[in-house]
Structure 1
Amino acid sequence: MTKSFIVTLKDHVPDVDVASIKDSVSKMGGEITHEFSLIKGFTVKLPESMHIDSIKSKHSDAIANIEEDKEVSIKK
């Protein structure tokens, strides 16, 4: 089973660092499922056994935010 996360990067992050983060995701057995064009960021799928915190701590200077990608609804 996998979990999906939205990874948002800081605006100043150079492309070489973006590539390094993507490489870390791949090495953890994860997969980039979508890249955003308006902001620096992407969605990733990771095996549930892997913790997104390891990517967050390794690349903390480049990552603005990581949150679980899940359906959002409005209840009336």
Structure 2
Amino acid sequence: MELADRAVGFLLSLISLSIFTYYTFWVIILPFVDSDHFIQQYFLPQEYAILIPVFAGVVLLCLLCVFVGLVMLKSKKKKA
């Protein structure tokens, strides 16, 4: 089981590093590259650089609130 945990950890680290590198390049470096450069075709428009993290944050916050609400409801039923 330890090997599987390491593999999952390595995979998650690799995915996180890839997303971080892509987003950093997209937000910090890409605005200084000409708009007709070929590298621009691999990235979404700049507006999405803000919209995607905000949307992901709202979804995460909603899921967290639902989880806390369900835990509170279950703990209330156990007391009664």
Q: Could you say which TM-score interval applies, normalised by the shorter chain?
A: under 0.3
> Normalized per residue, which structure has more strand?
1
Larger radius of gyration: 2
Structure 1 length-normalised TM: 0.27
Structure 2 length-normalised TM: 0.26
